[in-house]
Amino acid sequence: MLSNSFTAQLNIQYPVIQAPMAGGATTSSLVSSVSEAGGLGMIGAGYMTPSQAREQMQELKQQTSTPFGINLFVPETFEVNQKEIDEANQILSSVREKLDIPLDHQVEYPDAEKTEKVFQEHIQVVLEEKVPVCSFTFGIPSKKVIAQLKEHNVYLIGTATTVEEAVENEKAGMDAVVVQGSEAGGHRGSFLDKEKQNLVGLMSLLPQSVDQVSIPVIAAGGIMDARGLLASLSLGAAGVQMGTAFLTCKESGAPDIYKQAIFEAKEDQTAVTRAFSGRWARGIENSFIAEMKNHEQSFPNFPVQNSLTKGIRKASAEQKNKEFMSLWSGQSPRLAQDLHAKDFMKKLAADAEKIKSNW
Amino acid sequence: MLSNSFTAQLNIQYPVIQAPMAGGATTSSLVSSVSEAGGLGMIGAGYMTPSQAREQMQELKQQTSTPFGINLFVPETFEVNQKEIDEANQILSSVREKLDIPLDHQVEYPDAEKTEKVFQEHIQVVLEEKVPVCSFTFGIPSKKVIAQLKEHNVYLIGTATTVEEAVENEKAGMDAVVVQGSEAGGHRGSFLDKEKQNLVGLMSLLPQSVDQVSIPVIAAGGIMDARGLLASLSLGAAGVQMGTAFLTCKESGAPDIYKQAIFEAKEDQTAVTRAFSGRWARGIENSFIAEMKNHEQSFPNFPVQNSLTKGIRKASAEQKNKEFMSLWSGQSPRLAQDLHAKDFMKKLAADAEKIKSNW
Return the pLDDT at A167: 98
pLDDT > 90? residue B27: yes
As a whole-number percent, the residues of chain A with pLDDT over 90 amount to 94
Min Cα–Cα distance to chain A from B233, Å: 8
- Residue B109: pLDDT band with limits 50, 70, 90: confident
Min Cα–Cα distance to chain A from B201, Å: 5
For residues B166 and B156, give the distance between their C-alpha atoms in angstroms, rounded to a whole number: 13
Contact at CB, A230 and B234, closer than 8 angstroms: yes
Instruction: List alpha helices for A275-338, DSSP H.
Output: 287-292, 304-318
The shortest CB-CB distance from A202 to any of B196, B199, B201 is to: B201
Contact at CB, A211 and B356, closer than 8 angstroms: no
CA proximity to B211, closest of A83, A296, A227: A227
Contact at CB, B199 and A199, closer than 8 angstroms: yes
Q: How many CB pairs under 8 A join A and B?
A: 143
Contacts B235 to A, Cβ<8 Å: 227-228, 231
- Residue B311: pLDDT band with limits 50, 70, 90: very high
CB–CB of A140/A189 below 8 Å? no
User: Tens of pLDDT along A205-240?
Assistant: 999 999 999 999 999 999 999 999 999 999 999 999
Contact at CB, B223 and A203, closer than 8 angstroms: yes
- Residue B1: pLDDT band with limits 50, 70, 90: low
The shortest CB-CB distance from A203 to any of B199, B202, B268 is to: B202
Return the pLDDT at A1: 66
Contact at CB, B267 and A208, closer than 8 angstroms: yes
Contacts A217 to B, Cβ<8 Å: none
- What is the β-pairing status of strands B281-284 and B186-187? antiparallel
β-sheet bridge partners, residue B18: B242
For residues B223 and B232, give the distance between their C-alpha atoms in angstroms, rounded to a whole number: 8
The domains found in chain B, sorted by start residue, are 5-357 (3.20.20.70)
Residues of A contacting chain B (CB within 8 angstroms): 162-164, 181-183, 196, 198-205, 207-208, 211-212, 221-225, 227-228, 230-232, 234-236, 266-268, 330-332, 334-335, 355-356, 359
Contact at CB, A163 and B234, closer than 8 angstroms: no
User: Tens of pLDDT along A18-77?
Assistant: 999 999 999 999 999 999 999 999 999 999 999 999 999 999 999 999 999 999 999 998
pLDDT > 90? residue B170: yes
Residues of B contacting chain A (CB within 8 angstroms): 162-164, 181-183, 196, 198-205, 207-208, 211-212, 221-225, 227-228, 230-232, 234-236, 266-268, 330-332, 334-335, 355-356, 359
CA proximity to B54, closest of B42, B65, B45, B41: B45
Min Cα–Cα distance to chain B from A18, Å: 18
- Residue A356: pLDDT band with limits 50, 70, 90: confident
- What is the β-pairing status of strands B16-18 and A281-284? unpaired
- The 3-state DSSP composition of chain A as helix, strand, coil percent (nearest 5) reads 45, 15, 40
Nearest residue of chain B to residue A224 (CA atoms)? B204
Nearest residue of chain B to residue A220 (CA atoms)? B203
Nearest residue of chain B to residue A353 (CA atoms)? B359
Contact at CB, B359 and A355, closer than 8 angstroms: no
pLDDT > 90? residue B104: no
